[in-house]
Amino acid sequence: MIIERACIAGALILTALSSAHAQLRGTGDLGIVIERASGSVRIVDTSARAPIGRVQNLGDLSHASAVYSRDGRYAYVFGRDGGLSKVDLLQVRIENRIMQAGNSIGGAISQDGRVVAAQNYAPGGVKLFSAATLELLADIPATYGDSGQRSKVVGLADAPGQRFVFSLFDAGEIWLLDASDPRQPRIEKFPAGLQPYDGLVTPDGRWYVAGFYGEDGFALLDLWHPEKGTRRVLQGYRQGEEKLPVYKMPHLRGWAVAGRRAFVPAIGRHEVLMLDTETWETTGRIAVAGQPVFVVARPDARQVWVSFAFPDNGKVQVIDTETAEVVRTLEPGRAVLHMEFTPRGEAVWISARDDDRVIVYDTASIEMVGQIAADKPSGIFFTARAGRIGF
Amino acid sequence: MRRRQIMKWSVELGLGLVILAWATTAAADTFRIPDSARQQELVHLLLQDCGACHGLYLTGGLGPALRPQDLRGKPVESLREVILRGRPGTPMPGWQAFITESEARWMVQTLLNGLPDETRLSDEKGLSDDH
């Protein structure tokens, strides 16, 4: 009897130990899928191609985005309603959550991983938080003009030197923020152009590029030499042609650079523009199936995958960057919202909102190799972003 | 005298009926309520695609908020025009390639009344318990 009990107790201890061991794991192959309508995120394992959990009660996640702690354990999720949630991927739970604004559009994390920045529409501005505690460190209102009105902030990205860069939609300015002392940030302001809608920092951390809705072209800021100010590139790429209605604003973050060639969405046009990153001249235009929203390069930059605005949002096209030709047109599902490559790019995950699923493609064969159920999935964010400048 | 009075009433009544009939036809020509399947599509479009800029809960984003309290006092006709033809100088595109005038007017009315909660719920079905 006693022996039997001891055996049971021993077995229980062993089970407890082994399950504790089973929980030890890295996060390098994990990620999250935003479930925009239900205010939840699905935590996914890109090796197993399977979901491992779901975290709920994250508020309004329409247009939500996420950045990662540099250890890849925590996702900072920025909700539309101003919620900022720190999600623990390993324990599948909310570590901390605050309401930091009335209407928010995304965020970034500093080079050293200590400062999380949120970009807000209302009240327009940027707020800096401690990545550890989410304590507010600084509030930077995006005021402009004589009467002190506040602009919506778009295109926030991190840059080397503990800096953040962002654009003011209403003010037409680019602001460079030095967060070396995050409680006393220093700000430089640059004129940019009419209605910047998004911006990005190039993968090498040198250039900030903002795209305009209100005029043709892009603004370029050299982060090695901000004292030189902004300059215009790709000016007049829509010139002489009727301005088309834009059913969804393109996203610039994650844009595609292959060697000297960059591939960018032409706003309102059924085209991907090619430009030379040395001269910033347009070198070509590729006709595509709709108004591009995301134009993202496979990590090795051999392919560029393009998703589209309504009503062509059921398609995805693959461009061969060597020949600059569309090599495949896919129909992964209804209302494709986002695409994310695995860290080295053997697969790409594509969210199809209206089919309530995420589809996984092998990028060598360009064949579907798996799918995961998700509730109205939108953004997909893998932890590999933790180590990338501008993400 | 009495007969004349009756004649007058008859004429007035007849005229009234003609006007009423004309008005009904005219209204039917310009405003046809979409069938329920199309209504579902339009609500889906409002929440998900309009929601891309105006917020899934229509609380605003790049575009302004579209809740009843935000739209109160704005003329229906001008709101319908904005949906169909967009707002020059802003990112709001015209949707007339995808939406008829009647549908746009129905969307405006739906926004002014506020989307019923059950519409939202049916569009966002409950989550399953699996991981």
pLDDT digits (tens, 9 = 90+) for A185-203: 999 999 999 999 999 999 8
- Asked if A311's CB is within 8 angstroms of B98's CB, the reply is yes
Output B9 or B64, whichever has higher pLDDT: B64
Question: Is the sign of the CA dihedral A133, A138, A139, A144 positive or negative?
Answer: negative
Q: Which residue numbers of B have CB closer than 8 Å to A's CBs? A: 44, 47-49, 51-53, 55-57, 59-62, 86, 89, 91, 93-95, 98, 123-125, 127-128, 130-131
| Tokens 């950045």 -> residue | A67
Segment A7-18 shows an average pLDDT of: 52
pLDDT > 90: percent of chain A: 81
The gap between the terminal CA atoms of chain A, to the nearest Å, is 61
Q: Which of A62, A105, A154 sits opposite B51 (nearest CB)?
A: A62
Q: Is 50 exceeded by the pLDDT of residue B126?
A: no
Amino acid letter for position B90: T
Query: Does residue A178 sit in helix, strand or coil?
Result: strand
Q: Is 50 exceeded by the pLDDT of residue B2?
A: yes
d(CA B52, CA A105): 11
Closest alpha carbon within chain B to A196: B91
d(CA B9, CA B11): 5
Give A128's pLDDT tier (boundaries 50, 70, 90): very high
Output A238 or A55, whichever has higher pLDDT: A55
Other C-beta atoms closer than 10 Å to the C-beta of B68 total: 12
**Residues from chain A contacting residue B56 (CB–CB below 8 Å):** 36-37, 60-62, 80
pLDDT > 70: percent of chain A: 93
- Asked if A246's CB is within 8 angstroms of B57's CB, the reply is no
Give A9's pLDDT tier (boundaries 50, 70, 90): low
Give B15's pLDDT tier (boundaries 50, 70, 90): low
What does the pLDDT look like over A230-251, one tens digit per residue? Answer: 999 888 776 656 677 899 989 9
CB B38 within 8 A of CB B103: yes
Closest alpha carbon within chain A to B45: A310
Segment A209-224 shows an average pLDDT of: 92
Of A121-125, A230-234, A282-286, B15-19, which gets the smallest average pLDDT?
A: B15-19
Please give the helix or strand (H or E) that residue A325 lies within, else none: strand A325-330
ipTM for the predicted complex comes to 0.81
Q: Is 50 exceeded by the pLDDT of residue A173?
A: yes
Q: Which of B61, B123, B128 sits opposite A80 (nearest CB)?
A: B61
**Residues from chain A contacting residue B55 (CB–CB below 8 Å):** 60, 62-63, 80, 103
Output B6 or A158, whichever has higher pLDDT: A158
**pLDDT of the residue at B13:** 56
**Residues from chain A contacting residue B94 (CB–CB below 8 Å):** 245
What does the pLDDT look like over A289-313, one tens digit per residue? Answer: 999 999 999 999 999 999 999 999 9
pTM assigned to the model:
0.87
d(CA A127, CA A105): 12
Segment B81-104 shows an average pLDDT of: 94
What does the pLDDT look like over B35-86, one tens digit per residue? Answer: 999 999 999 999 888 988 998 889 999 999 999 999 999 999 999 999 999 9
Residue A9 to chain B, least CA–CA distance (Å): 31
Residue B126 to chain A, least CA–CA distance (Å): 8
d(CA A143, CA A125): 8
**Residues from chain B contacting residue A353 (CB–CB below 8 Å):** 48
**Hey, what's the torsion of the CAs at A20, A22, A26, A32, to 10 degrees?**
-100
- Asked if B131's CB is within 8 angstroms of A36's CB, the reply is no
Give A110's pLDDT tier (boundaries 50, 70, 90): very high
Output A255 or B14, whichever has higher pLDDT: A255
Output B118 or A260, whichever has higher pLDDT: A260
Residues comprising chain A, all counted = 391
What is the residue-averaged pLDDT of chain A? 92
**Residues from chain A contacting residue B60 (CB–CB below 8 Å):** 103, 121-122
